[in-house]
Amino acid sequence: MSYIKGIDISNNNGSIDFSRVADDGVKYVYVKATEGATFKDSAMKTFYNQCKANNLKVGAYHFLVGSSTPEAQAQNFYGKIKDYDWDLIPMMDVETNFSGLSNYVRRFISTFKQLSPLELGIYSYTSFIDYLTDAEETIKDMPFWEANYNDDPWNLHSNFFTNRVGHQYTENGSISGISEGCDVNLFTEGVLLDNAIIAGQWIIQNGKWWYKHINGSYTKNGWEKIDGLWYLFDNEGWMLYDWKKEGNNWYYLGRSDDGSMKSGWLLQDNKWYYLGDLNDGSIKTGWQKINDKWYYFDSNGVMQTGWISDNGKDYCLYSNGSMIHDCEMYGYRFDSNGVATKLS
């Protein structure tokens, strides 16, 4: 699954040159719309128009607070965004703890669903998720945009959310056209309103599968998330399987009776591959840090073991693929980066 560079902004970011933002590779922009029951961001309309003028996909978010009812806040949010043609799913920003937080979250979601047909997502910090456990059953399958300033895009631990669609990995990013550091994100296409999950059923014809939505439509020449799993469909709408190349990335889509994008470790023909997380799935090459251990994969994605040379330096990898470091072994000293130096 490919990632798309995005930013999120508010009136606090001041004047922005969106043509330069677009030239810097940004594709998706989230703008603040509202906060609480009365605040409306004065910059939203200008930001929206300038995003559209520069072919940037744009979405809106609401900042949830505990000082006014969630019903009034949902109405404020919907009232602000309802007359615009959004590209990205609207987001509820939950990062302030207060008494009854989980109840507020559930009530905001319920009210928004009554007001709008748009799918709603949720934004929060990794460190804040524990405050939301009482609302887990309501929010676990919602599109989740996670903030974790580790400067390591999509290196995130699992949590109860099943549909992570974005990682805000820094709050001090440098983006052309914005005078000061700003929030920078990598999103999946799961934030696109066009990719919002639509109920339907699997149908098999002549040994091939397709997915029929309740409105009769079906996905062609693209990805769709169904029951928490990603599937790739060809230009006629048939589900693809086995190894497939999409863009510059290779994916493994299982057998003909499965088709779901695989993630994590994969063993095939006595060779190990690593396919990223549930929202990535692309085969990894080169050095990869997995669960705090370093591994090396060749240009075909095959995990290496034993001695390897990379950029003129020698390394040694255990039989499980993990890099040897910070020790002496086999007549060599391995430093903290795994570089081997022969002992005299």
Structure confidence by residue, pLDDT tens digits, 325-336: 999 999 999 999
Distances (CA, A) of 330 to 174, 177, 327, 337: 45, 53, 10, 17
Give me the pLDDT at residue 70, please. Answer: 97
Q: Which two tokens stand for residue 60?
A: 């809106």
**Would you identify the CATH topology of the domain 4-187?**
TIM Barrel (3.20.20)
Catalytic residue, chosen from 95, 134, 180, 335, is 95
Tell me whether the CATH fold assigned to 200-261 matches the one assigned to 286-342: yes
Specify whether the CB–CB gap between 4 and 28 falls below 8 A.
yes
Give me the pLDDT at residue 226, please. Answer: 86
Give me the pLDDT at residue 160, please. Answer: 93
Rounded to whole angstroms, the Cα distance separating 263 from 110 reads: 33
The set of residues, in sequence order, having a beta carbon less than 8 Å from that of 271 and lying 6+ positions away, is 302, 303
200-261 CATH choice from 1.10.10.10, 1.10.3210.10, 2.10.270.10, 3.40.120.10: 2.10.270.10
Domain positions in the chain = 4-187, 200-261, 286-342
CATH homologous superfamily for 286-342?
Answer: Cholin Binding (2.10.270.10)
Give me the pLDDT at residue 1, please. Answer: 60
Give me the pLDDT at residue 119, please. Answer: 86
Give me the pLDDT at residue 196, please. Answer: 60
Give me the pLDDT at residue 113, please. Answer: 85
Q: Does 171 participate in catalysis according to the annotation?
A: no
Q: Does 292 participate in catalysis according to the annotation?
A: no
Specify whether the CB–CB gap between 318 and 329 falls below 8 A.
no
Instruction: Report residues of the chain scoring pLDDT below 50.
Output: none
Catalytic residue, chosen from 8, 87, 93, 189, is 8
pTM over 0.75: no
Rounded to whole angstroms, the Cα distance separating 206 from 209 reads: 8
